[in-house]
Structure 1
Amino acid sequence: MKNLTLNAEICKHQNCLEAFALKFTKNIEDANDLVQDTIIRAIRYHEMYKEGTNLRGWLYTIMRNTFINQYRKDARRGAVVETSADLSSYQLSNSATSNLGEGKFVMEDINRALAKLEPEHSLPFLKYFEGYKYNEIAEELNIPLGTVKTRIHIARQLLKAQLKEHSKRFRVAAGQN
Structure 2
Amino acid sequence: MDSQAFNLNIFSHKDSLYAFAFSFTRDSEDANDLFQDTMLKAINYSSQFKEGTNLKAWLYTIMRNTFINSYRKSAKTTAIMTVTDDLTSDKLFLSATLNNSEGKFVMDDIYKALEKLQPEYYTPFIKYFEGFKYHEIADELQIPIGTVKTRIHVARQLLKKQLRVYSKFVDSQERVA
Normalization by structure 2: what TM-score?
0.49
Normalization by structure 1: what TM-score?
0.49
